């Protein structure tokens, strides 16, 4: 089972590859606000654990296992942002809150939140009621 730090790295690598077509240690370090040496150590561990293939000075690629997890982690992050937005969390708090909770929820909880998001999207009245509740003192 990957650690929260491993998940953060895999998620960021997946996003970089999706947007730029590649992920370099320096890009990962910048995105995660960590030292490149820390990223190199983590990338070596992720390589050893079968999530990616890392060749020094040549870059890295996600394995099918890493790509599958990366995609799932990105979807989890997006789902939690969507959920917090739907329940009326202030926009400037959403990213920080998602970062704080995403690693502490089971996949079962994530699945239930996905069901709740679907329900909220299908029934705008619930969202309106939540908005009214938020505005009450």
pLDDT, tens digit, 9 for 90 and up, residues 59-88: 899 999 999 999 999 999 999 999 999 999
Which residues are documented as binding site?
8, 11, 77, 99, 102-103
Evaluate whether 48 touches 111 at the Cβ level (below 8 Å): no
Domains, in order of start, for the chain: 4-68 (1.10.10.10), 74-135 (1.10.60.10)
Which pLDDT belongs to residue 39? 95
How confident is residue 28, by pLDDT bands cut at 50, 70 and 90?
A: very high
pLDDT, tens digit, 9 for 90 and up, residues 7-26: 999 999 999 999 999 999 99
- With H, G, I as helix, E, B as strand and everything else as coil, classify residue 62: strand
Which residues are documented as binding site for Mn(2+)?
8, 11, 77, 99, 102-103
- H or E segment to which residue 3 belongs: none
């Amino acid at each position: 089972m990957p650690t929260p730090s491993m998940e953060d790295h895999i998620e960021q690598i997946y996003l970089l590859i999706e947007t730029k077509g590649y992920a370099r240690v320096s890009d990962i370090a910048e995105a995660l606000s960590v030292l490149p040496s820390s990223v190199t150590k983590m990338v070596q561990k992720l390589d050893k654990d079968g999530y990616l293939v890392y060749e020094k000075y040549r870059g890295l690629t996600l394995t099918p296992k890493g790509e599958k997890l990366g995609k799932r982690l990105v979807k989890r992050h997006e789902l939690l942002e969507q959920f917090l937005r739907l329940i009326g969390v202030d926009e400037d708090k959403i990213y920080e809150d998602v970062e704080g909770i995403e690693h502490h929820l089971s996949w079962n909880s994530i699945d239930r939140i996905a069901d709740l998001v679907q329900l909220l999207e299908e029934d705008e009245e619930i969202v309106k009621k939540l908005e009214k509740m938020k505005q009450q003192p």
